[in-house]
A = this chain, B = another copy of it.
Amino acid sequence: MGIEDVLSDLKKKIQDKLPKGITISDLEFEGPELVIYTVDPKAFADNGDIIRSLAKDLRMRLVVRPDPRMLAEPELAIKKIAEIVPAESGVTNHYFDTETGEVIIEAEKPGLVIGRHGSTLREITKHIGWTPKVVRTPPIESTTVRDIRRYLRNVKDERKAILQVIGKKIHRPITSKEQWIRITTLGGCKEVGRSSFLLSTPETRILIDCGVSTGAEANGTPYLYVPEVSPLSNIDAVVLTHAHLDHCGMIPLLYKYGYEGPVYMTPPTRDLMALLQLDYIEVANREGKRPPYESAMIRETLKHTITLNYGDVTDIAPDIRLTFYNSGHILGSAIAHFHVGEGLYNVAFSGDFKYEKTRLFDPAVNQFPRIETMVMESTYGGMHDMQPSRREAEIDLQNIIRRTLQRGGKALVPTFAVGRSQEVMIVLEEAIRKGIIDNVPVYLDGMIWEATAIHTTYPEYLNVELQDMIFHKGQNPFLSSSFVQVDSQQKRQSILADPSPCIVLATSGMMNGGPVMEYFKQYGADKRNTLIFVGYQAEGTMGRRIQKGWTEIPMSTEGRTDVMRVEMEVATVDGFSGHSDRRQLMEWVKRMDPRPERIITNHGDENKCLDLASSIYKKYKHETKSPMNLETIRLI
C-alpha cells in the first residue's frame, strides 16, 4: 500500500462522514496536517463541529482550504473582516496567500478574531472564502518576530513543497515487522551542554535536541558522526524541547550536513531559538572564532520548522505521535512526549524543567496519558543541591535593591537575556508598583528587550495569573513605563553619566563580555552600588571570580589592560534558577502520574546524574540508569 492508497482511503472515509452535499475536491498532506480542499468552504464553516469530530475520528490534524475559485478579492475581504471582527481586536495587518487560500490576520487581541471555539473564524470563512489564521501583533515591537514572519511569507512556496514531502513521509505505510525502541545518547549525558538523543524504532529515527557546549574548546558538538545518525538525511524528525543553546545550538548544522526534514517546537521556542542562534554566531565572529554555521542555515532551520502548541497530539512519523507539555523552564519550554506504535510504548524527554510555580510559568507537567520511560535532567540532582524558594529569593532581591537605592546607589544585575531577566522584571515591576522599592528606571541592555518582546507576543505561554493580569485586568507588567530599552551606545553613555539611582539588567549573565561590563567598569568603584548575581556563575568566568571575592580585576580597554579595584557591594541571590532543585526533582518524580517504569537521568555533572538516579531508585524503586554519551538503551 503506497501513500496514494492511504489518501484515497482517507478521502472515502471523510466523504462518508460529511453531510450530503458537501464535497471534497482534493486531499493532500502538508507536514503533519491533512489538507482538505473544497468548493464549499462555507458549508464546512456552517457546520462548526464537522472538522473537530472528523479530526477526532481520524486522529489527525485537519485543515480545510477553499477551492481558489471561492476566494473573495483581497480588498473586499479586508473590508468584510473588519465588519465581522470586534473593533477591539486591533487588527494591524493582513497577508493573503493565494496558493493556500489562507489569510494571516495580525491582531493585538487574537482571541477576539478567533471567537469562541473558532466561531468568528468560521464566520470570516463563510463570507470571504479565505481560511483565516491569526497571529498576535507583538505589543512590544520585536524585530525577531517581525523578521521571522516576513521570512516565512517570502519562502512560503518552497515551504509548502517541503511540507508536502514531509507529509508523505509521515503518513507512509509501516513496512517493518520487528518491534523495538531504542534511545542513543549523543550528548548531554553526565555533562551539561550539547544535549542530543536519538529515539529509534525499526521504522523511524527522531533526534531530540541538538545542542552545543558553548564553553568547550573541543567536544562542543553532539556525536553526530556516529553511524546511528548517518546519513543525517535518514532522520525523520528533529524535536526541540526549548531555545537554550545547549539544546538547539547545533540544529542549523544538521541542515548544513544534509538533513532536510522538519524540526518541531513550540511557537515561542522558534522565535527565541532564532534570536539565540543568531547571537551565538555573532558572538563567535566577534571573538574571532569561526562559527560552525552561517545565518543562512538558521534561516534553513526556520524554513523547516513546524510549530506545535502544548497538548497538540501530532503524528510525526508512521509509528510516532509527539505531544509537548509545559516544562516551566523558559518561555515555550516543553517536555517532549512520544507515543510509539498503537499503544506500544510511551517515552518522554523532560528537557530542562522547573517544578515550582514561578512569576512567569506554571510548574512542569508530570501527568501524562501514559508514560513508561522518562528521560530527565539532573542539573541540581546532587544530594545537597537545595535552593531557597522563589518567594524567599524575591524578598532577598528586593531587600538588596532597596538598601542600594536608599543609599543613593545603583543596582547592576548581570543576566542572560532569556528567562531569568523576565522573572526579575516581573518582581521589580511589582515591587515598584507596590512601593516596596523606589520608583527608579529599570534599564534593559543587551538582548533582554528583544527577548521580552517575544514574551509579550506569546502570553498564552505564561502562567494563568499572568495571563489573567494581561487579558482581563489589562495590566501587562512588561509594558510598565519603568522599563527602558537601551538601544544605542549614545543612550548607554547617558545612563552611565547619570548619577541618580537606578537598576540595570544587562547581559551577559556570567560577565564574560557583553554590555554588563561597561556598567561594571563605571559602577565598580563606588561603595554605594551593588552587583547582584541571580544566576549560576560557571567556574572560570569573570562573574565567578568576582563572586569568590576577587577585588582586583584586570580589565582591558582598547587594547590596554588596567587593574580595576572593586569597591561596590557584591551580592548573590539564590533561588531564581529555571531548573528544579534536588527536592523539586524528587517531588516531580514522586508525583508523576502514571508511574513510569524507568527513569534515565542526564543533563548534569556525572555525580549529580548518578546521585539522582540512585536516590530515585532507593526511594521510589523505579529502574534507573545514568548513561554515558554514545550508549544505546533498549526500551522494548
The CA of A227 and the CA of B229, in the complex, are separated in Å by 7
| Residues A190-221 near B (CB distance < 8 A) | 200, 205, 218
A182:B634 contact, CB within 8 angstroms = no
Closest B residue to A628 by beta carbon equals B634
Residue numbers in B under 8 Å from A184 (CB-CB): 632
The CA of A227 and the CA of B634, in the complex, are separated in Å by 15
Residue numbers in B under 8 Å from A227 (CB-CB): 200, 205, 227-230, 234
A95 within 8 A of B: no
24 CB < 8 A contacts A-B: A177-B218, A180-B630, A182-B630, A182-B631, A184-B632, A200-B227, A205-B227, A227-B227, A227-B228, A227-B229, A227-B230, A227-B234, A228-B228, A228-B632, A627-B634, A628-B634, A629-B634, A630-B632, A630-B634, A631-B631, A631-B632, A631-B633, A631-B634, A632-B632
Chain B proximity of A635: nearest CB distance (Å): 10
Q: What is the count of identical protomers in the complex?
A: 2
Q: A228-B632, A631-B633 are in contact. List 10 more A-B contacts (CB 8 A).
A: A177-B218, A180-B630, A205-B227, A227-B230, A627-B634, A628-B634, A629-B634, A630-B632, A630-B634, A631-B631
| Residues A145-186 near B (CB distance < 8 A) | 177, 180, 182, 184
Summarize A's interface: helix, strand, loop or mixed.
Answer: mixed
Closest B residue to A184 by beta carbon equals B632
The CA of A184 and the CA of B227, in the complex, are separated in Å by 12
Residue numbers in B under 8 Å from A634 (CB-CB): 627-631
Would you give the 0/1 interface string for A600-636, flagging 1 where the beta carbon is closer than 8 Å to chain B? 0000000000000000000000000001111111100
Residue numbers in B under 8 Å from A628 (CB-CB): 634
Chain B proximity of A486: nearest CB distance (Å): 43
3 closest residue pairs by CB, A with B: A632-B632, A628-B634, A631-B634
The CA of A230 and the CA of B227, in the complex, are separated in Å by 7
Chain B proximity of A233: nearest CB distance (Å): 12
Residue numbers in B under 8 Å from A180 (CB-CB): 630
Residue numbers in B under 8 Å from A200 (CB-CB): 227
| Residues A217-244 near B (CB distance < 8 A) | 218, 227-230, 234
The CA of A419 and the CA of B265, in the complex, are separated in Å by 60
Chain B proximity of A609: nearest CB distance (Å): 14
The CA of A230 and the CA of B228, in the complex, are separated in Å by 9
Residue numbers in B under 8 Å from A205 (CB-CB): 227
The CA of A631 and the CA of B627, in the complex, are separated in Å by 12
The CA of A428 and the CA of B423, in the complex, are separated in Å by 87
Residue numbers in B under 8 Å from A177 (CB-CB): 218
Interface centre among A205, A218, A632 (most CB of B within 10 A): A632
Residue numbers in B under 8 Å from A229 (CB-CB): 227
The CA of A631 and the CA of B632, in the complex, are separated in Å by 5
Closest B residue to A219 by beta carbon equals B178
Closest B residue to A218 by beta carbon equals B177
The CA of A629 and the CA of B229, in the complex, are separated in Å by 19
The CA of A229 and the CA of B627, in the complex, are separated in Å by 22
The CA of A633 and the CA of B184, in the complex, are separated in Å by 10
